Every structure is written in structure tokens, then in C-alpha cells.
Structure 1
Amino acid sequence: MNSVPALLDEKHPDIVPVMEKLVAHHFPTPDDGEISARLQALHDEVAVRSNASSKWGLGNRAPVHGLLVAAPSFHGKTRSIEKGIRSLKPATTGDGQVIEPKVVRVTVASNAGGASFVNQMLRDTGYPLGSRDIPAGSAAKKVVEQLILDRVTMLWIDEIQYAVDPPRLPGRGRGKDEELAWSVVHSIVDGNKRWPIAVVASGLETSADSLNRPTEERAALRSRFTLKYLESMDKKDAANNVRDALIKLCEIAGVSTKLTVDEEPPNDLPARLAHAANHAFGIAVEMARFAIARASIRPERKLTSDDLADVYRLKTSCDNKANPFLIRQWTDVDPTLLHARFADQRREKTS
């Protein structure tokens, strides 16, 4: 095995330069094109006038919409949206004005919710708030005012689940925090009827569950939003997708691999990695990067199953008998279970 303790650290000085090269490579997903098109459509709406006989501008803007991108972690939400925003083209109004995209991004903190979320948004808009928070109602009004003042065309709220499905903490009313978050989003999309701002939100599946709650206010907001859900890799294609990623990453790192599509007999290492990642492409790529970076600093510069076994052990703290890279019955392993001791171990059912 290659379990040299120093080489099990992603921040090892010999590994960092290789990891940086590997992380810089973006793998396109089937959803990239659709998300880019949807973002462009949102920006194009900004150029539409409510009164075609008057000049486009503050107070003469047609309503805009929002987009919620929901998926489990490591499914490509953030990278797809980043790519779409980079590709945005200017929109032209009916009276000939060219509107350049102006996007503000807010990444919600994991301990956010309620007033802390709105105050974070206010700081991220560039408002000189200082270190002390202000009441949620005041902060919400100032967020909208600041976005209008800066003529922002699109607001991206990343990790929105932390705002609409906040952690259950003593003294915190989850329902009130959730209502506050969506109320602020609604106010931003409306833009005080003077400067509507397209909102892109991304988060876990619970974000979509929250938007779907059967309340009148949520129903009104849903009418302004569309949902894009990113699926996990199809199991039929998972091995091929992961094989292609492994080959590309090995090429970038200068590491040898025999993972060819026409290999006889077929090498099942990509299929094992797809299973170990629970068919989440982002997790498979993350594990592959670390394993390949480690392989790149050995004299032979060759990726082996031991590299991936070590990375999986580090990730899950599993026993060798529950490591999909070390056993024949690798499909029996539950990749979502930490500290597993044997291959067919399962979670205890809770009532």
C-alpha cells in the first residue's frame, strides 16, 4: 500500500502544485449548456421595457424571473453557473441601449439564517455596514436599495439551503428564518417595481422543497422561478464518464494509466470509483485528483488501485473489508456509510 502518512495530506508541499493543475481543469456536464442558456435568457429580460414608447431605465423595466438550480453536493451546480455567468453576452434594449451584465454573488454561510443571512447579503453588495448587524427588516430594505443603486442586473445566491433550511439551533425559529429569506428574494426580483433583478439561487434539494411549500407567498414566488435539477450520473454511463475523467487528469499530471475504453478484459477501476462516489461525478473527480496527485510524486508516476483505496480510506475511515478498491464484492459496499467494518454493512434503520 502507499499509505505514507505525509502523502495523505492534500496540502503536502509536493502535492499542492499538481492539485492546482488538476483543480483548474473543468469537466463540462450535460447541464452546462442548458444552464448557460437559461442565464442568458434571464439577462435578456433585463433589457425589456414595460412601456415601449418611453426610454428604457429605472422605472421602465418589465418584470424578470429567477432560476433555482438544485442538486446534491458535488453535482456541478456552482461550476455550471460560474461558466454560464462568464459566457453572458450584453442585451440590447428596444431603444438601442446595450446592457452589460452586472452580477453580484452571495455565498451563504453554513451558520446563516434569519437576520445574519440578510446582513451578510448587505455586506456582499458592498454596503458599508461594519461589523455589527442591524435588524433584519432594515437590512432587507437596504439590500434592495443597494442593488438598485448599483444597477445590478443579476444576483446569484449560492448555498441558499443554509438560508431557507437553516440549522436547528436553540432560540432560532426555522419557519420565520425561511419566510424571511424568501421574502427578501421576492423583494429583489420585484426591485420595488422600479429595477427588477434576476435572481439565480443554487443549493441542495431542500431548497426546492422549501420553495414548494404550500403558502400563498411561496406560490407567488414560484410563478417567477423555474427549477433546474441536476441528476446523478446514470449508472449505465458512470464508468465511461469516470474513465474519461481519469484519463484526462492523468494526462494533465503526467501520470501513466492503462484505462483505455477497448481494454481487454475491461478494467473495472472506473466503475469502482463511480460506485465509491455514490455516482456523484464531482466526488469521483475529487477523489481521482488526490489519488493522481499522490501517484505523480512517486518515481514510477503510475496510478494504481492502491492510491484510490488510500483516498477512500481517508475519506470514510473504513476497514479494508469495506473498501471498494480492495475487495471483489465491491458493489456490496454502501459508499455513504462512514467507518464501515465489512462490505455489506448498512445503516441502522431509524424510526
Structure 2
Amino acid sequence: MDFDSEALAGVATENGFTGAIRVQVGDRRLFDDAFGLAVRAHGIPNTTQTRFAMASGSKTFTALAVLSLVAEGVLALDDPVRRWLREDVPQVDDAVTLRHLLGHTAGVGEYLNDDADADAYLMPGSMHSYTSPEDFIALLDVPMLAAPGSRFEYSNGGFVLLGLVAQRAAGTRYQDLVRQRVFGPAALAHTDFLRSDELPGSAALGYLYPDSQRSNIFHLPIEGSADGGAYTTVGDIRRFWLALAAGAIVPSELVEQMTTPATPHDPGWPYGLGLWLPTPGGVWAMVGADAGVEMMSEHVAALDLTWTVLANESDKAGPVMRHLRLWREGVPYA
């Protein structure tokens, strides 16, 4: 498996990438390096052990928390979510199921504009008021976009609803539920929902612009929730993929459902249940972008191949991710 590490480093440097990159096959790291600064005001560099925010990449953790409850019989994929929503968010169609939400086919309305500029303030009120899926209820009560099961429509709101259902069904705070059912079984020692007002020294701040001190702390909830916001490292992402493939988080039959394109789906970029599937049957992906955050990680189980890009500046990871995707697409594995 040929890999040009100098070419990748060149792409990162030429495009001002700031973050960490790892490409690994089995025990062999083809590339493992970091660029830019984690904390610009103090000149603290990013390293391959730095913890970066994942934005929507951590939607996969929400899906797994839900699926772990499915595995135990607490929930069922085709359960209507109204049972757990009760009288809240009344505009959500009573026919919406967990399967619809997990595959972005529920047709629920959206509370967040994913197409807004990276420095836009997208949520009302103070960011410290959003620490639980319960805190989003008023934002989620918006008109349906489509009939449940009629089309694929990527939905942040749908995943917040999943977190709300999981939290209520388990009787456990969402973040603790994910710690117990995902981070623990996968041995992710460096992955967590970190508060932006007490980030540890191991975490990178997210920056909005090159050569600027302006961070994203007023743009995102103070603590990540069900539609994204966990922090992780390139090493933990690798451990996560191996644990998922081994059935260590949820049983293998549920992993198979996660990694099968949902119906309906976008044929150009299929989605399963909590995972993007750029090449159905072979490649699994987590993707995220937010103010000051950009990431992608792909895993090819047949090759034991993982590549991960974690960035702590808006719109900086794209050239690196495109370079790696082109390389991965040239690797035979089917």
C-alpha cells in the first residue's frame, strides 16, 4: 500500500492546515503528525495527542447509545418516538420512528442552518444554557419538512431528538449514557464531552480565522450534546473504529444495520444508521464541521485502514481530506 507522506505534509502546509492527521493500516502508521497551534495566545502547538472537537462527527456516538438500548430491548428501531417525547415537540409527526431519525429520513424540521457562515451565531440565548437535549425542546418544535420515510434530509434536530429519547428511556443524562455505553466499551480514554469554559490543557481551542485569536466559544453550546460536540484524538478515533468493527460497543448484527444504506438515501453519499457510507459495503465515515471545527475519519474494515483528520479552524481541513479520499479511492479492497 503505497503512501506519499511528503505529499500529504505538503498539502497540509500549503493550505495552512491546523490540527492532527493519522493514517494507519494495522499496526503501521503511514502518517502521524500535527500542524498549527492548539492555543494561539500562548503558542501551544497541536500534537497527535491533542483533543479536538468533533462537531457532527460525534452523532455516531448518539446512534450507538440508542442502538445499545435497542440491543437490550429497552427501545426498538421501529418504535414511534412519540412514546418518549410525550407532549413535547408536538409538530413531530407521530409516525416518526427511531429508524427514521437514525437514517435522517424522519422529515423533521431543522433548528440549525448548516449552510450559514462559519462565524454566524446560529442559536438564540446564551450558549451556557444548552447542556442537555432537554434544553433544545423549544428549538425542535418546528414544522415537518417531509413525510416520515419519504426522503433523506440530514437533520441536526433529528439527532437531538434521539438523544432526548435515549436519555428519557435510560433515565441517565445523555453525556453519561454515552460515556457508559460507548466511550467505556471502546476504551476511549481521551474522548469526552468537554465544557468550553473549562477545557483541559490537552484540548485545542477552535478558531474562526487564520492568524486570529477569535475562538468559537460563543458560537457553540458550552457542552456537546446529541447532535455533536464531543472531543477526541486521532488515536482514540482509531480505537473507536476497531471496537465498532469487533462488536465491542453494540452486537455485530446492529453494526451491520448501521453500515447498510438506509432507505431512502442520497445515492451520491449514502448514509446508514449514524454513519456515512461513501462506498457502501466497504467504507465507514464520520464527518463534522462547525464554527472553528472540521473533521473526517474513514475506516475500511477489510484493510484495517483508518485515516483521520481533526482540525481546530473553520474551513481548513478540506484540501487534506480531499487528498486522502483520492488516495483511499485508489486503494483496492473490494
- TM-score, normalization: structure 2? 0.24
Q: Greater helix percent: which structure?
A: 1
Greater relative CO, 1 or 2 (CA 8 Å, sep 6+): 2
